[in-house]
Structure 1
Amino acid sequence: MPAGPVPGPYAGRTDDRQPDSPQAERSRGPLRTALSGLTTRGRSFLAAGVAAAVCAYLLGQPELLRVGLLLAALPVVCVLVLHRTRHRVAGSRRLSPARVPARAEARVHLRIDNISRLHTGLLMLQDRVPYVLGPRPRFVLDRVEPGGRREVSYKVRSDLRGQYPLGPLQLRLTDPFGMCELTRAFSTHDTLTVVPPTEPLPAVRLTGDASGYGEGRQRSLAHAGDDDIIPRGYRHGDDLRRVHWRSTARYGQLMVRREEQPQQARAIVLLDARRSAYLGSGPDSAFEWAVSAAASVCLHLLERGYAVRLLTDAGSATPEGSTGDSSDTAGMLLDALAVLDHSQSSSLAPAYDALRGGTPGSEGLLVAFLGELDEEQALTLARMRQRTTRALAFTTAPSEQGQTAEPPALQALRAGGWQVLPGGAGLSLPGLWQEAGRSTAEGVGR
């Protein structure tokens, strides 16, 4: 995104939080603001010059006085020249890509354009980035000719998903002797979205697939001009063989038949985000595995032609995405998962309430990623199963060593019609997905 021109000795606006913002300049005065930019070298020269001048006056040494005045005048002249130099510099930032999986690198491209008629001095460029993305990048740019440009880039990487602000971009202008430097900041920020890592899943046959896959095709009325079962008025270009004579006689005008068309398959991906349902934290925790697995399933189902909806235990959900623009839908789902955090909810009832409005079987395929469950939550999930054509659950709760019998909650889940597979960190989601497809082919899907 363009960052805009640089203020102060440059043009444009600054970030109001910077110490040398326009408000600060008006309160302190432009010359005082410039004097505050003296470097350690400039302050040392000024102090040495003043001290030499005082000593020369006290000792009556005119030669030492001239040396002191020269030492004191040099940083002051540098300040005046730097302050009166009027440069116009524009900057921009471009992310490649703007949405990157966790543990993958993204490159940030910075571009500086000199849009004034003067050469710039030595420029020191610095961009602000959160510490989780790496060290703060700094660059030194040589003089930029009028109308010239400079381009630099740096890499960022995060092990944690989320949205991270980049900017504002800062420039420091210095004089050739290093006596003074002025810092100005652009006002524009950009956002880098770190999404959960995903894995490609094998193409398996699941109940509720779109046309050509499985048995879960549903019917609905098509839009105007398409076929469906209700007769409609004749339109220019309609095939006369589709004239419905009984309706024509009834309504007194020419009516044509419309036939049924298969409706797009629907799927819901349920992600249990209850804090009490997971142990541990960090990139290798069970919860992060569930988030990444949910993202992988969402993208896979979108590629297969599903209208995908993301649902959490708290009942919040993304709008149902269709294949009309699957890339936009995939981006929306990944953005939602990038910022998803643990919820304080202790029940899955809000998720069930989000499905209660539909008729039994109307929600198509339901894929759930669950933490630790009790029997009450299992009964809630069993009621959710009645709203779908098929329900598949991946549980991430650790199994106790030496335990031979399945926990009662999972038994209740299977009794409610769910197919249950173990999940969690270290397990391959593509392998589990393949196993779910084999169970469907063998007619064992629950």
Structure 2
Amino acid sequence: MTAGGTGHAEADRGDKGGVRTALAGLTTRGRSFLAAGIAAAICAYVLGQSDLLRVGLLLAVLPLVCATVLYRTRYRVAGSRRLSPARVPAGSEARVHLRMDNVSRLATGLLMLQDRVPYVLGPRPRFVLDRVEPGGRREVSYRVRSDLRGRYPLGPLQLRLTDPFGMCELTRSFSTYDTLTVIPRVEPLPPVRLSGEAKGYGDGRHRSLALAGEDDIIPRGYRYGDDLRRVHWRSTARYGELMVRREEQPQRARCTVLLDTRGVAFAGAGPDSAFEWAVSGAASALVHMLERGFSARLLTDTGTAVPGEGADGFAGASQESADAAGLMMDTLAVVDHSDGTGLSRAYDVLRGGNEGLLLAFLGDLDEEEAAVVAKMRRRSGGAVAFLLDSEDWVREPTDVSGPLEESGERLRMLREAGWTAVRVPRGASLSELWRQAERERTSTGAAGRTSDGGGWS
């Protein structure tokens, strides 16, 4: 059974120990008939009653015959599964379509279909299918939903066969399963604009570079389809072959989304925890920046990025941007707390990078880690931090003691270093904080107006 409905699988035959398997499938009725038949046969032998012996043999043979027939016909059914969709945001529903095909020349009896699903997706679905004619098919579906991110296996599919007399039931499992990916919630963000940025291309000291491209006078060999107006005749005469000027390569604005995953930085768990808000915020920011034409990359406190991601991240506003967003969402679907206690690894990665926009979703920071984050601003054209005080997310609303003052001190340190730092209260909307960051950055002039990619949209 495979996603997409193109694959089929047959139930496992289980030929080894066939007699034992068949007898193990006897129902209470079948076992009762077998026991009554054996008892009647013994009594008939002791009493010398031939009629009672025939009755006993009939009672004993009937469940055995049913088990044998059922055992030999149980694996002539094929099944397939299709997920719609296979990737779903947390809190949304996906539908699972099951299809059963009778590939034998005989009609089936009563079938009970059961699919294995993790408990977080809902109750285990069960379906009763009536007689399926030779070459016939039956289709059923059920819905799954999870408020928690992750990858959840669906299957293997179990098929329970029974005979018309209810003497025997055999359960067989299909050998394959599918995976449902529950990605973080993505919140649409408003198209705010800072530092004159437009559509993912930097403005300021690199404006001419972004709009006109790098001055590259090195020619290359002619390729089929090149415009003849770009032929570089001097190089053609020099090399003895047709040479053309290289196309200008505009420099795309870059954005790095830093996600703090340290276990010590977040308290609480569940879909409404501070960590889940940070993951959802990072996902929303990545999708938004890709849609705006930025080259976006995801970075965690461990210094790791998305597999297959280039040095500048995934390019947006292209045919591959949807695939890039999918890869990032798949990564965020399974991201978990790290064992690290610091952000130095992420700083090492950013220190060797280029100047672009830096968006950080941070948990609790002590003074030392706040100083590390403050230094990250030096290698970024613009820096916006969303700072979560995890204790604020787990304590009672009436308790407004100490930690708020500590988080306020961390905000002050980041702002003095040039960050646009925004505190994230419990249950806050990222779109509102997005606008708040724009207002604060505009009013304080902390944007680094002469940066590549310093603006954001």
Task: Indicate the residue corresponding to 2:22 in structure 1.
Answer: 34
2:229 to 221, 229, 239: 239
Which of 352, 356, 360 does residue 351 from structure 2 map onto? 356
1:365 matches 2:366: no
Distance in 2 of aligned mates of 1:445 and 1:393: 12
Q: After superposition, what is the alpha-carbon deviation per residue over 1:337-372, rounded to whole angstroms, capped at 9, x for unaligned?
A: 1101111111000101112222xxx24110001111
Residues 292 and 208 (structure 1 numbering): CA distance in 2 closer, same or farther, change over 3 Å?
farther
Matches within 5 A, 1:223-302: 228-233=214-219, 237-239=227-229, 261-302=249-290
Cα distance change of structure 1 residues 292 and 86 upon mapping to structure 2, 3 Å threshold? closer
> How many correspondences in the alignment?
421
**Bigger RCO of structures 1 and 2 (CA < 8 A, at least 6 apart):** 2
1:275-321 Cα shifts (integer Å, max 9, x gaps): 11112111111111111111111111111111111111111112211
Which of the numbers 38, 41, 45 marks the counterpart of 2:33? 45
Residue 335 of structure 1, aligned match among 324, 330, 338: 330
2:27 corresponds to 1:4: no
Q: Describe the SS at the equivalent of 2:97.
A: strand
The residue correspondences of 1:182-261 to structure 2 (distance < 5 A) are: 182-207=170-195, 209=197, 211=199, 215=203, 228-233=214-219, 237-239=227-229, 261=249
| CA spacing shift, 1:255–1:164, aligned 2, 3 Å | closer
Describe the shift of the 1:255–1:186 C-alpha distance in structure 2 as closer, same or farther (beyond 3 A).
closer
- What is aligned with 1:379? 371
Q: How does 1:390-429 map to 2 (within 5 A)?
A: 390-397=382-389, 398=391, 400-401=400-401, 407-429=408-430
In the other structure, the counterpart of 2:68 is 80
CA–CA distance in 1 between the matches of 2:244 and 2:131?
76
| 1:12 counterpart residue number | none
Alignment correspondent of 1:314: 302
Any stretches of 5+ residues in structure 2 without a counterpart? 393-399, 448-457
Shift of 1:401: 3.4
Q: Which runs of 5+ in 1 are unaligned?
A: 9-21
Distance 1:432 1:367 in 2: 13
- For 2:397, the equivalent position in structure 1 comes to none
Query: What's the TM-score, normalizing by structure 2?
Result: 0.84
C-alpha spacing 1:363/1:152, structure 2 compared with 1 (3 Å): farther
Per the alignment, in what secondary structure is the counterpart of residue 156 of structure 1? strand
* CA gap 1:132/1:233 in 2 versus in 1, 3 angstroms: closer
* d(CA) in 1 for partners of 2:268, 2:94: 28
Alpha-carbon distance in 2 for matches of 1:244, 1:211? 36
- The 3 A distance-change label for structure 1 pair 231 and 201 is same
Q: Superposition RMSD on alpha carbons, in Å? A: 3.0
Q: Deviations over 1:370-405 (max 9, x none)?
A: 111112112211221111100000011156537668
Distance 1:305 1:283, change over 3 A: same
